[in-house]
Structure 1
Amino acid sequence: MIEYLQKNSGEIIAALGQHIYISAIAAIIAIIIAVPLAIIMIDHPKGGEFVSQVAGVIQTIPSLAILGLLIPFVGIGTLPAIIALVLYAIMPIFQNSYSGLTNIDPILIEAADAFGVSKRFKLFRVQLPLALPMIVSGIRIAVVLIIGTTTLAALIGGGGLGTYILVGIQTNNDNALVVGAVLSAILALLANGLIKLLGKVSLKRIVIGVATLLILFGGYTVGSKLIAQRTQTITIAGKMGGEPEVLINMYKDLIEEDNPNVKVQLKSNFGGTSFLFKALKSGKIDIYPEFTGTVMQSLVKTSDSVSHNPQKSYQEAKQLLKQQFDMTYLKPMKYENDYALAIRTADAKKYNLKTLSDLQKLSSNFNAAFDPDFYQQADGYPGLKMTYGIEFASVKTMEPSLRYEALADNKIDVTDAYTTDPQLRQYALTTLKDDQSFFPPYQGAPLMKASFAKKNPKVVKSLNKLAGKITTKDMQEMNYQVSVKHRKASIVAKEYLLKHNLIEK
C-alpha cells in the first residue's frame, strides 16, 4: 500500500481534488435551489407537499440510470454528474428546510407580527435563525450523500475517487480499491464535521462564505476553459477493463507524439458498448476502440449472416457503419479478442467438456455469470442460447473481474471470457470450443465519426500505425501486466510502442 501511494500520490491528489470540486459545486447548487424553494413554500402547504413528493420520486431512480439519461443532452464528464447529484441532494435539504421553517413555535411568529415587522425582517431575523439547525442538518445529510454518490462520476468520465474504485474492481487491485473507498469515507466524515461547525456560525457569514466559494469555483472553471481553448482537445473513451485502457493509452501516445498541439483526454472504464456508442453518436466523445464482431452483431442493422472471415467481416462492418451512422472505422489490429465460455479445468476433465455442444448437454446443472454486455448483446448469451440451446440453472450479471473470482471460488460454474483475458492464465481456466462457429471475428480498431476523421487526417494517420500490429500473445501479456501485476496501463502501453518503434523515447 505504501509503495502504491508513493507511485500514485500525484494522481490520487488530483482525483481527490476532482471529487471535492464536483461535490462542492453540486452541494452549493442544491442549497441555492432547495432553501429558497422551501422559503417560497412556507405559506403554500400543498405546494410544499408536492415538491417533497417530486424530490422523493427522483431519489428512487437509480443514479446510474439518471447519468445514462443525461448523456445525450449534456454529454459526459462533470456536468451530468453534477446535475444528477443536485437532483439527489434537493430532497433532504428541502424537506429539512421546509420542516424547520413551518414548525417554528406559532407564539414566536405571532410576537413578530405583533411588533409589526416586515416580512423580510421576520424571515431573516426570526424564521431562518430558528430553522437554521434543521437546515444545516439537511445540508449535512445531502453533502454526505453527494460525496458517496460522486464516486459514480467515474463511470462517465467525471473523474474523482470513483476512478480508483473502478480500477480496483476491474483489475482486482485491492490497493486502488482501498484508496478510493477510504478517501471517500474520510472526505464524507470531514465534510460532516465541518458543516456541523458551520451550524454555530451566523447566517450572514454562511451566505458570505457560500458566495466566496461560488466566485472561486466560477473563476477556476472559466480559467480552465480558457486554457483548454489554446489547444485542440480530443476525448478518447474505453470500455470497462484493462485491455481497453491499454488501447486508449496507445491512441493517446501516438496522437500526441505526432500532433504537439493536440491534447488527448482519456475516459477509461467508461461503460458498456451501447453507452459508448451513444456518446460517440452525440459527439460527447471523439474516438473509442470497437470490435468487428460487436459492430456486426449489436450496432449495425443487416439481414446477412455475419462472415467468419476476419477481413470480410471488417469490410462489412466498415461499410455499414459509414452507411448507417456516417462513421469511420479505421484499420484493425492483428489480434482477435474472441468471445468464449470458460469453466474450471477440473470440471472440463470431470465431465469431458471440450466444446459448447458438450456443455449444452449438462448446462441445466451449471450456474453462470456474465458480463452485462455479453448478457444482453446479440453476439453474446441471447444468440448463444438460441444457437446451442443452452439453458443454465441460473444466470446473473457480474462485473468482469469479479466473475472470474467467483468461478475460481466455485460460486459459479461458467462465465464468458475474451481469449486475451489474463485471468484465464491466472486461474488456469479452460475455454470451450465454439464448434458451430457462432462467435464472429473480433478485431479491434478505432471508431470515430466521419466528420472527425475528415477534419483530423493527422490523427487518423497516427492511429493507423497500429493497423496489423499487436498479436494475441502481445495483448495477453499486456493484460496480464495490468490486471494481475497491477502495473499502470499507461506505462504498459508506452513500453509496447517504444519496443516496436511506434513512438520515440
Structure 2
Amino acid sequence: MRLQRYLTHLGLASALLVGTAHASELTVGGKNYTEQLILSSMTSQYLDDLGYDIEKRDGMGSSVLRQAQENGQVDLYWEYTGTSLIVYNDIDETLSADATYERVKALDADKGIIWLEPSAANNTYALAMRDDTAEEMGIETLDDLSQAINEDKSLTFGLDTEFYSRKDGWRPLQQAYEFRVGRDDIVRMDTGLIYSALRDGNVDVGLVFSTDGRVPAFDFRVLEDSRDFFPAYSLTPVVREDVLETNPQLAEQLNTLSGLLDDQTMAALNARVDVERETIERVAESFLEKHDLI
C-alpha cells in the first residue's frame, strides 16, 4: 500500500507540472447525516494529503447537493445509485444492483456527471422496530407491518422530511405495500433523532439506514423489504466530467478509496460516531491511517 501511495503521489505531481494551479482545486460535497459527513471528511483529508487544494461543503440535502454538482459548485461527492435512478432520473423500474449502476452511469454521463467504481456498501433505506416490540406483534417483514396497520394496530412512525417527500419514499412505499398511515401517527424529525426516538419508545417504527451502526447497537429489527420496493443504493464516488478531464489521476485515487468500503465497514465507522461519540474527523482520519492513505 505504501508503494502504491508513493506512485499515486508521483503521478499527481507529474500531472500538476503540466496543468494549472486551478487544476488541483476541488470542492468535496456531502449530505447531512453521519455516513455522508464521514465520507466527505475522509475524502477531503485523503485528497488534501495527495496535494489537492480542498474545500469541503457538506451538510446538504440530496437534491440541493445534486443541483450544486450540476451547477459546478461541487466537484465530487458520494452518491447512492438508487437515489440517482429514482429521484434524479425518474426511473421506477425494478433493477438489479448492477443494472441500477449501469443505468445511472449512462444517464448521468449525458449530464456531465461520471460515476466511478461502486463500493460494496449498499446503504438502503429500511423501516425498523424495537426487536421486542416486533417479536410481540409478529412483525418481520413490511408485508407483516402492512397487515398490522390494516388491522388497525396502533403504531407511530418516525420519518425524516426528505424521505416523506421522496419519489422512493413514504407515499410510494405505502402504495406498494397497500397500507395508509394517518398524519397524526407520523412524527417528522431529523434523521439522527429517529434512532433515539425509536430506542426510547417515542415511536414504534422508524426510518433507518441499513449501514447505520445504531441498528445493531440499539437492538432494532430491520423489516424485510419483501416486495423489493427499495432499489440498490450502492455507495459510489461521482465526479464532474470536466474535473476528471483536468485531473485524470483522480479516478484511480477515488476508486482506491471506494474499494475499501462495504456494509460492515460503514456500519462500524457510523457506530464510532453515533454510539461511541468519536469525532467525525478522527474516525475518518484513523480509517485513512489504517489503510496507509495518509
Q: Aligned to 1:335, which of 110, 115, 121?
A: 121
Give the stretch that moved more between structures: 399-408 or 350-359.
Answer: 399-408
Residues 231 and 263 in structure 1, CA contact (< 8 A), matched pair in contact too: no
* Percent identity of equivalent pairs: 27
Question: 1:118-157 counterparts in 2 under 5 A?
Answer: none
Inter-partner Cα distance in structure 2 for 1:231 and 1:310: 34
State the match for 2:264 in structure 1: 473
State the match for 1:266 in structure 2: 56
Question: 1:280-429 counterparts in 2 under 5 A?
Answer: 280-302=69-91, 305-307=93-95, 309-323=96-110, 325-363=111-149, 364=152, 365-393=154-182, 394-429=185-220
TM-score (norm 1): 0.51
Inter-partner Cα distance in structure 2 for 1:418 and 1:267: 22
TM-superposed CA distance for 1:263, in Å, is: 1.3
Inter-partner Cα distance in structure 1 for 2:257 and 2:169: 27
Inter-partner Cα distance in structure 1 for 2:243 and 2:171: 34
- Choose 1 or 2 for highest CA Rg: 1
Inter-partner Cα distance in structure 2 for 1:447 and 1:370: 27
What are the superposed Cα offsets for residues 200-253 of structure 1, whole Å, 9 maximum, x if unpaired? xxxxxxxxxxxxxxxxxxxxxxxxxxxxx8884311121112111111122123
Question: 1:69-218 counterparts in 2 under 5 A?
Answer: none
Residues 372 and 399 in structure 1, CA contact (< 8 A), matched pair in contact too: yes
Inter-partner Cα distance in structure 2 for 1:459 and 1:248: 15
Inter-partner Cα distance in structure 1 for 2:280 and 2:250: 21
Question: 1:54-65 counterparts in 2 under 5 A?
Answer: none
Residues 254 and 462 in structure 1, CA contact (< 8 A), matched pair in contact too: no
Inter-partner Cα distance in structure 2 for 1:371 and 1:318: 28
Residues 296 and 306 in structure 1, CA contact (< 8 A), matched pair in contact too: no
Inter-partner Cα distance in structure 2 for 1:253 and 1:435: 40
Inter-partner Cα distance in structure 1 for 2:197 and 2:90: 35
SS at match of 1:306: coil
- Unmatched runs of 5 consecutive residues or more in structure 1: 1-228
Residues 158 and 186 in structure 2, CA contact (< 8 A), matched pair in contact too: yes
Residues 23 and 247 in structure 2, CA contact (< 8 A), matched pair in contact too: no
State the match for 1:223 in structure 2: none
Inter-partner Cα distance in structure 2 for 1:256 and 1:306: 39
Inter-partner Cα distance in structure 2 for 1:310 and 1:372: 26
SS at match of 2:249: helix
Inter-partner Cα distance in structure 2 for 1:427 and 1:454: 45
Inter-partner Cα distance in structure 1 for 2:161 and 2:238: 21
Cα RMSD (Å): 1.8
State the match for 1:257 in structure 2: 49
TM-superposed CA distance for 1:390, in Å, is: 2.4
Q: Aligned to 2:284, which of 481, 489, 493?
A: 493
TM-superposed CA distance for 1:405, in Å, is: 1.6
TM-superposed CA distance for 1:441, in Å, is: 0.7
AA paired with 2:93? S
Inter-partner Cα distance in structure 2 for 1:424 and 1:301: 30
Inter-partner Cα distance in structure 2 for 1:449 and 1:320: 13
SS at match of 1:268: strand
Residues 338 and 419 in structure 1, CA contact (< 8 A), matched pair in contact too: yes
TM-score (norm 2): 0.86
Inter-partner Cα distance in structure 2 for 1:282 and 1:500: 34
State the match for 2:10 in structure 1: none
Inter-partner Cα distance in structure 2 for 1:486 and 1:406: 18
The reply to whether residue 459 of structure 1 matches residue 242 of structure 2 is: no
> Whose relative contact order is higher, 1 or 2, with alpha carbons under 8 Å and at least 6 apart?
2
Q: Which is strand-richer, 1 or 2?
A: 2
TM-superposed CA distance for 1:459, in Å, is: 2.2
Residues 334 and 443 in structure 1, CA contact (< 8 A), matched pair in contact too: yes
What are the superposed Cα offsets for residues 7-53 of structure 1, whole Å, 9 maximum, x if unpaired? xxxxxxxxxxxxxxxxxxxxxxxxxxxxxxxxxxxxxxxxxxxxxxx
What are the superposed Cα offsets for residues 47-78 of structure 1, whole Å, 9 maximum, x if unpaired? xxxxxxxxxxxxxxxxxxxxxxxxxxxxxxxx
SS at match of 2:78: strand
| Number of residue equivalences | 269
TM-superposed CA distance for 1:469, in Å, is: 2.2
